[in-house]
Structure 1
Amino acid sequence: MSHAAQSLDNLTAPGLLERITLSSLTTAPCCIFIFINGTMLFALRNKLVLRETSRYILLFNLLFADTVQMAVSQLLYLLASCRIMLTYPVCGVLVMLANLTNEISPLTLVAMSLERFVAVCYPLRHPSIITMRNTQLAIVVVWAFCSFNVLIRVVLFLEYQLANLPSLQMKDLCSTLGMFLGPVSSDYDKAYTAFVFLSAGVAVIFSHIGVTVAARSASTNKASARKARNTLLLHVMQLGLSLSSTVHNAVLVAISKVFTRTVLVRIQCVLYVFLIMLPRCLSALIYGLRDQTIRSILVYHLCCRLKISAVAAKAETSL
């Protein structure tokens, strides 16, 4: 899946001051959400009841993938902003890690949507279907499937006759597009992206329809069904935003024919924030604010860390 948070492609960056400003505007919110995600991950592993509940196990997997994705994407963005050229092996590792975590998110959203579907539509069978073992198996399948896709990309890259390259040093900035050295890699990327998001979209929408129908049933807990329906609606939005990130490169190529390079860099920054960073922040916002269990734990840990930071800063000042 192409997601050009990884570079500014071949655009010529504007002045140093503007590059620093644009980088700061993206790095600051990225660090804030990585901190929040890290706190949520710690909270999810710190409570026994959360470690043994399927929905929170899946949430941990989603947050972990989103956090790694944000960190790697921001690193690649900063490398591109500083016009740092990497070697193919180093760029390949970073791009493949970004691709892997980027693909984990939609598949985990599918698993979370199906879990909510079973909980609402088949409440009596939910404990026997959504077990710890089945949840862990689902996570293993998701990671194995995405890892297999990354392996195929590596094989396609090597089949381009890497030895025929004049040098391992890249001439362009590190990006997914920069690693697509042949038409087969590009075609495979488009086909895989279409397959994953079509399948994921059908699964999430099917789950939403099933929960909506169940919410109108007199035998169903309407409050629980309504909450699950709203959650699935947010999953659909998350999936849509994840899909929008794949068209980032195409949009950038299209507008490059209209605007100057300096303007394109600014547009790139806006697209990066809304198409790449925002989808990765939604998980923390959705569950950190809507889920009462997580919200109370999250606020507790955030407040504790802020107090510790304040005490440490006060101690340093006194010294």
Structure 2
Amino acid sequence: MSSLNGSTSNLTQNQNPLVADRDVRTVLSVTPCVVFLYVNGVMLFTLKKKAVFQDSSRYILFGHMLWLDTFNLLMSVVLFVIAVSRISLLKVVCVILLVAATVIYQVSILNLALMSLERYVAICFPLRHADITTFRRTHMAIGVVWMISWIKPMSELTIFYAFDSTNTQVNLLCSKTTFFRLPIYKKLDVAFACIYFVSVCFIVIFTYASIAIVAKSASGDKISAKKANKTVLLHLIQLGLGAASILVDVIFVRTDVMTFLNVMYFCFITFIIFPKCLSPLIYGLRDQAFSSLFKYYFTCAKGKIKPVFIEGHI
């Protein structure tokens, strides 16, 4: 009996550091998400307070990015907490969560291309910008992006329900590694990652180069062109972080469990949480018209006069 108690005590002592480490990581991951969910909420509220924010294609796409980043943060936190807590879910619930996370993530990548193209039209074709980027066309472009983003998850679901017989459990740990086990899923990940990221990267680089040419030319609004070029450069950095998050999972060789968990946690913070937290704040504060109104509502308008709208540039 004493030896059994001693073994139990040693097991408990060995588990305590792991549990404490897990709790610390959970707090460090969830806390910034909660803070920036509030920031995103204030930004979305600000976009509803001015008619120009709802009619301009620039602000429509910015608002779309805010919604996507908000849902991305929510889905990331939910899946992270489920994974670290080792909570078993019904298969249908897990399918809904994974499909939603995949679609939203891919829409956020493709939305970068739309935002870059909008800046390209605004700088390179300023006289036709209002005619090309109308309210209706902007929403149609967003709708097309959403339809394209459903191709990969629908392909995975078709394979899963029609051909995959490796996972017959009703309750399971909800993650892509435990849910989609066949090699075909990894091939789909690589194929669609290459298609999406190469396409978006081409668009972003093309718009960056085109705007740079305008910025160096003797005619045109050079200040606006330089601001637009910095915006497109931010899109390229975001795209690079998104590509890195996928490539790490594809090329990383799994050694021991702890090393794998440490690398995945680092990638989760660096490539998923960090960009989704900071990118809306960076874009919002770079726009003069939006930032002044955002600061007014963020501080709950305490002791401040509501700012007058002055058009700025994202």
TM-score (norm 1): 0.85
Hey, what does 1:174 align to over in structure 2?
A: 174
Hey, what does 1:228 align to over in structure 2?
A: 228
Number of residue pairs the alignment of both structures matches = 289
Runs of 4 or more, structure 1, over 4 Å off, are: none
Counterpart code for 1:272: F
Hey, what does 1:274 align to over in structure 2?
A: 270
Question: Between Structure 1 and Structure 2, whose CA radius of gyration is higher?
Answer: 2
Residue 142 of structure 1 aligns to a residue whose secondary structure is helix
Is 2:290 the partner of 1:294?
Answer: yes
- Report the Cα distance in structure 2 between the residues aligned to 1:263 and 1:177, rounded to whole angstroms: 16
Is 2:183 the partner of 1:183?
Answer: yes
Residue 299 of structure 2 aligns to a residue whose secondary structure is helix
- Report the Cα distance in structure 2 between the residues aligned to 1:67 and 1:59, rounded to whole angstroms: 12
Hey, what does 1:106 align to over in structure 2?
A: 109
Please report how far the alpha carbon of residue 286 of structure 1 lies from its aligned counterpart in structure 2 after TM superposition. 1.9
Hey, what does 2:119 align to over in structure 1?
A: 116
Hey, what does 1:75 align to over in structure 2?
A: 78
Residue 220 of structure 1 aligns to a residue whose secondary structure is coil
TM-score (norm 2): 0.86
- Report the Cα distance in structure 1 between the residues aligned to 2:278 and 2:112, rounded to whole angstroms: 12
Counterpart code for 2:130: P
- Report the Cα distance in structure 1 between the residues aligned to 2:38 and 2:44, rounded to whole angstroms: 10
Is 2:138 the partner of 1:135?
Answer: yes
Say which is worse superposed, 146-155 or 52-61, in terms of deviation.
Answer: 146-155
- Report the Cα distance in structure 1 between the residues aligned to 2:110 and 2:130, rounded to whole angstroms: 22
Counterpart code for 2:265: C
- Report the Cα distance in structure 2 between the residues aligned to 1:209 and 1:127, rounded to whole angstroms: 22
Residue 300 of structure 2 aligns to a residue whose secondary structure is helix
Are the counterparts in 2 of residues 13 and 261 from structure 1 also a CA contact under 8 Å?
no
- Report the Cα distance in structure 1 between the residues aligned to 2:136 and 2:97, rounded to whole angstroms: 31
Hey, what does 1:16 align to over in structure 2?
A: 19
Are the counterparts in 1 of residues 119 and 228 from structure 2 also a CA contact under 8 Å?
yes
- The verdict on how the C-alpha distance between 1:158 and 1:306 changes in structure 2, with shifts beyond 3 A counting, is farther
Hey, what does 1:285 align to over in structure 2?
A: 281
Hey, what does 1:88 align to over in structure 2?
A: 91
- The verdict on how the C-alpha distance between 1:265 and 1:191 changes in structure 2, with shifts beyond 3 A counting, is closer
Hey, what does 2:11 align to over in structure 1?
A: none
Unaligned runs of 5+ in 1: 1-11, 308-319
For the aligned residue pairs, the C-alpha RMSD in angstroms reads: 2.1
- Report the Cα distance in structure 2 between the residues aligned to 1:306 and 1:189, rounded to whole angstroms: 49
- Report the Cα distance in structure 1 between the residues aligned to 2:17 and 2:201, rounded to whole angstroms: 39
Are the counterparts in 1 of residues 204 and 235 from structure 2 also a CA contact under 8 Å?
yes
Are the counterparts in 2 of residues 110 and 203 from structure 1 also a CA contact under 8 Å?
yes
Please report how far the alpha carbon of residue 14 of structure 1 lies from its aligned counterpart in structure 2 after TM superposition. 5.5
Hey, what does 2:206 align to over in structure 1?
A: 206
Please report how far the alpha carbon of residue 214 of structure 1 lies from its aligned counterpart in structure 2 after TM superposition. 0.8
Matches within 5 A, 1:235-254: 235-250=235-250, 253-254=252-253
Are the counterparts in 2 of residues 238 and 282 from structure 1 also a CA contact under 8 Å?
no
Are the counterparts in 2 of residues 287 and 295 from structure 1 also a CA contact under 8 Å?
no
Hey, what does 1:315 align to over in structure 2?
A: none
Residue 86 of structure 1 aligns to a residue whose secondary structure is strand
- Report the Cα distance in structure 1 between the residues aligned to 2:86 and 2:164, rounded to whole angstroms: 26
- The verdict on how the C-alpha distance between 1:18 and 1:203 changes in structure 2, with shifts beyond 3 A counting, is same
Are the counterparts in 1 of residues 152 and 188 from structure 2 also a CA contact under 8 Å?
no
Please report how far the alpha carbon of residue 169 of structure 1 lies from its aligned counterpart in structure 2 after TM superposition. 2.2
- The verdict on how the C-alpha distance between 1:43 and 1:83 changes in structure 2, with shifts beyond 3 A counting, is same
Percent identical across equivalent pairs? 36
- Report the Cα distance in structure 1 between the residues aligned to 2:302 and 2:89, rounded to whole angstroms: 37
Please report how far the alpha carbon of residue 290 of structure 1 lies from its aligned counterpart in structure 2 after TM superposition. 0.9
- Report the Cα distance in structure 2 between the residues aligned to 1:188 and 1:13, rounded to whole angstroms: 39
Are the counterparts in 2 of residues 157 and 179 from structure 1 also a CA contact under 8 Å?
no
Deviations 1:31-54 (A, max 9, x none): 111111121112112321100110
- Report the Cα distance in structure 2 between the residues aligned to 1:56 and 1:158, rounded to whole angstroms: 40
